[in-house]
Structure 1
Amino acid sequence: MTDAISSILSQIRAHEMRAGGLRGDVAPSDAIDVGGAGKAQQVPGFAETLSNTLDKVSATQARAADLQQAFELGDPRADLARVMVAMQQSQVAFRATVEVRNRLVQAYQDVMNMPI
């Protein structure tokens, strides 16, 4: 369980590094000229990134539920292996989301407990 979360967090960090060091905490209104082509690229903010991630987790859970229901109804395209893989993917995504939430809450509490 912990290894899966560590793996997901390392994947997030690797993706962040591939993005060229662009940070989600930059204000969304800041435009960055990429490659001198004259086109500005919007850097997504933290709230937008979090919202997109939650949407993807929700979609993964809905897909797993749809596959499970199709398997229960006898759909030949929904074999047991695909259903189990989809259910495990949704479970890992949900656990990673809960872990990120827990870390955000802990960080918030740490900041609020700092002396002024």
Structure 2
Amino acid sequence: MSIGAIDTSRIEAMMAQLQAAAARTSPANVNPLSDGGLQTKQASAVDFQSVLKTSLDQVNQVQLQSQHLAQRFEMGDSTVSLSDAMISLQKSSIALQQTVQVRNKLVSAYQEIMAMGV
């Protein structure tokens, strides 16, 4: 992966995930039954814990890569420019901020659920 260029493979993978999610929720996936009810097609089960862990691992990997790139620049590696190191550090900072915001939303949703009356 080149730091200076945009990594289109990750963008394409994210687009494929979004399209798959949209396909699972589209009306085309709803089949009328003979009794007039609706039944949704069985979607593959997604384990929330594994998705969350994978996301956190990716954020961690981005941070480790940016730290490694910054260390290489600090040590005088001529193949690493200052702009590459700074861009990489900003990407890792944004990824961390995004993770914190997702955590905040999850905590907020949990608190709302716990406050619901039964």
Q: TM-score by structure 2 length?
A: 0.66
Shift of 1:16: 4.6
Question: In the alignment, which residue of structure 1 is the partner of 2:101?
Answer: 99
Q: Which runs of 5+ in 1 are unaligned?
A: 1-12, 24-30, 33-41
**Inter-partner Cα distance in structure 2 for 1:100 and 1:94:** 10
Alignment partner of 1:77 is 2:64: no
Q: Tell me the secondary structure at the aligned position of residue 65 of structure 2.
A: helix
Q: Deviations over 1:4-55 (max 9, x none)?
A: xxxxxxxxx96653124458xxxxxxx86xxxxxxxxx64311111110100
* Aligned-residue offset at 1:77: 1.2
Distance 1:110 1:46, change over 3 A: same
Name the Cα RMSD after superposition.
2.3
Flag structure 2 segments of 5+ consecutive residues without an equivalent.
1-13, 26-41
Residues 61-84 of structure 1, C-alpha deviations (whole Å, 9 max, x = no match): 000000110000000111111101
Pair 53,77 (structure 1): closer, same or farther in 2 beyond 3 Å: same
Identity %: 34
C-alpha separation between the residues in 2 aligned to 1:114 and 1:44?
A: 26
CA distance in 2, matches of 1:86, 1:16: 25
**Cα shift readout 1:64-113 (whole Å, capped 9, x = no counterpart):** 00011000000011111110110011001000000000000000000001
Secondary structure of the structure 2 residue equivalent to 1:66? helix
Match of 1:109 among 108, 111, 116: 111
Q: 2:31 maps to what in 1?
A: none
Q: Which moved more, 1:82-91 or 1:13-22?
A: 13-22
TM (norm. structure 1) is 0.67
The answer on 1:63 being equivalent to 2:65 is yes
Structure-1 separation of matches of 2:116 and 2:78:
58
Q: Which runs of 4+ in 1 moved over 6 A?
A: none
- In 2: Cα distance, 1:71 partner to 1:115 partner: 56
Q: What amino acid is the match of 1:83?
A: A
